[in-house]
Structure 1
C-alpha cells in the first residue's frame, strides 16, 4: 500500500532528528533521581519501614514525571512547526521513544524496594501513571496554546505545585493515602478517574490547531 509505505518512510526519516532533539540530559537526570529515591530503602541502617518506602516511591514517580514534563521542549520549534509531517506524528515519536524507557525505569524503582516493605505495586503504579500522564498533558497543552519552544520548566513547576496541593487535600478527598488506611481504596478510585480524564485530554491536544495550520496552507497556494 503506497500510503502505508510513504508513512513508514516519513517516520523512519524523522527518527534520527527526533532522537537528537530529545532533552536527554533532563530525562537522564530525572531517571537517575527516580531510581535514587527507592534505593534509599536499601541503605537505611536497620532497614526502612513501609511508610518510608511508599514516600520514596511516590517521590520517584514525581521525579520521572518531571523529566516527562520536558519531553516536548524543542529549541527549533519555530522551524519544525512548518514541516509537512503532522504534530501528531512528531509527538507520537517522542512518546514512543521515551515512555517505554520511563516505564522500565519505574519497574526498576519498584524492584529496588525490598518486597517485605513494598506497597501494592498495582496501586502505586497507578499513581505513577497518572502523575506521568498529567505531566505529558501539561506539556501538550503548553505546546498547543503557547509559542514557547521550551515549556518544560513551567510545566514542571505546575506539576510540583499540583503535587503539593494534592498532599494537602483534606482526608475526604485525599489522593496520597497510607497503605492500609480506610481511604486507600477510595483514593485509588480517584486516581483511576484522573487517568480516565487525562488520556482523552492528551489525545485531544495532540493535533495541530486548525487555525494555526491555515496560514501555512494559504502560503503554499
Structure 2
C-alpha cells in the first residue's frame, strides 16, 4: 500500500499543470511588485493591485483538475475524492509560498491588513478550485480550466460593478465597512469549500437510453 500511495502521489504531481501555475504566479507577483512604484499616496492602489494579483493566481488554479486522461483514470480503484484531495494537497504548499512572496513584495507601509487580505485570497482560491470541481462533476470535458477561468474572470468583474453596496466585498482599508466585508468573505470561503467538497464526488454519468423490442414494438428501457 505505501508503494501504491507513492506511485499515486508521483503520478498526480506529474500531471499537475505546473506551467500554468508558474505563469499565473509570475503575473500575480508582477502585479504585486507594481505597488513599489505607486508612491506615497498609493495605499488604495496597492490594495487593488494585490487583489488583481490574487485573481491572476486564482485563474491559474482553475486548471488544477484538468486531466486529459480523465476518462481512463475514472476506472482506477482510487476514489475520485481522494484524487482531487491529493491534487489540492500538492498545490497548497506552492500556493502558500506564492502568497507569502506576494505579501513581502508589497512595501510594509502600503500592505493591507495581512489577516484580512489573506482571507480574501483564500476565498478566491477556494472559489477557483470549487469551480473546477463543479465543472468536472457535471460535465464530461477533460480540460474545464479555460471555461472556468472565463467564468471566474467574468464573475469577478460583474461582482465589482454590480454587487449590492449593502453587501460590499471590495472595500478600501479605511472604509467603515471593512470589518463587515470580511465577515462576508468568511462566508464566501466557507461556501466555496462546501461546494468544492460536494463537487469532488464521482462525476455524474449521463443516463443512457436504449430501445428494447417488446412484442414487436419499441419501448425505452
Q: What residue in structure 2 maps to residue 203 of structure 1?
A: 197
Matched-pair contact (CA < 8 Å) for 1:41–1:48: no
Give the deviation of 1:48 after TM superposition: 6.2
Q: What residue in structure 1 maps to residue 93 of structure 2?
A: 100
Query: Structure 1's 204 and 64: CA in aligned 2 closer, same or farther, altered over 3 A?
Result: same
CA distance in structure 2 between the aligned counterparts of 1:11 and 1:164, rounded to whole angstroms: 41
CA distance in structure 1 between the aligned counterparts of 2:27 and 2:189, rounded to whole angstroms: 24
Do structure 1's residue 178 and structure 2's residue 172 form an aligned pair? yes
The C-alpha deviation readout for 1:131-160, integer Å capped at 9, x for no partner, is 110010000001111000000011111111
Matched-pair contact (CA < 8 Å) for 1:27–1:67: yes
Q: Secondary structure at the match of 2:6?
A: helix
| Runs of 4+ deviating beyond 4 Å | none
**Among candidates 132, 139, 149, match of residue 146 of structure 1:** 139
Give the deviation of 1:112 after TM superposition: 0.5
CA distance in structure 2 between the aligned counterparts of 1:160 and 1:82, rounded to whole angstroms: 33
**Among candidates 71, 76, 81, match of residue 83 of structure 1:** 76
**Among candidates 184, 188, 205, match of residue 182 of structure 2:** 188
Query: Structure 1's 62 and 40: CA in aligned 2 closer, same or farther, altered over 3 A?
Result: same
CA distance in structure 2 between the aligned counterparts of 1:48 and 1:29, rounded to whole angstroms: 30
Give the deviation of 1:15 after TM superposition: 1.8
CA distance in structure 2 between the aligned counterparts of 1:195 and 1:15, rounded to whole angstroms: 27
Which runs of 5 or more structure 1 residues have no equivalent in the other structure?
Answer: 1-5, 216-221
CA distance in structure 1 between the aligned counterparts of 2:164 and 2:13, rounded to whole angstroms: 43
CA distance in structure 2 between the aligned counterparts of 1:39 and 1:22, rounded to whole angstroms: 27
Q: What residue in structure 2 maps to residue 3 of structure 1?
A: none
Higher helix share: 1
TM superposition score normalised by structure 1: 0.88
CA distance in structure 2 between the aligned counterparts of 1:127 and 1:143, rounded to whole angstroms: 25
CA distance in structure 2 between the aligned counterparts of 1:207 and 1:156, rounded to whole angstroms: 21
- Whichever of the two has the greater Rg, that structure is 2
Matched-pair contact (CA < 8 Å) for 1:23–1:71: yes
- How many equivalent pairs are there? 206
Matched-pair contact (CA < 8 Å) for 1:30–1:66: yes
Q: What residue in structure 1 maps to residue 67 of structure 2?
A: 74
User: What is the alpha-carbon root mean square deviation over aligned residues?
Assistant: 1.8
CA distance in structure 1 between the aligned counterparts of 2:175 and 2:169, rounded to whole angstroms: 12
Q: What residue in structure 2 maps to residue 40 of structure 1?
A: 34
Q: Secondary structure at the match of 1:207?
A: coil
Do structure 1's residue 61 and structure 2's residue 73 form an aligned pair? no
After alignment, is 113-122 or 193-202 more displaced? 193-202
CA distance in structure 2 between the aligned counterparts of 1:93 and 1:135, rounded to whole angstroms: 16
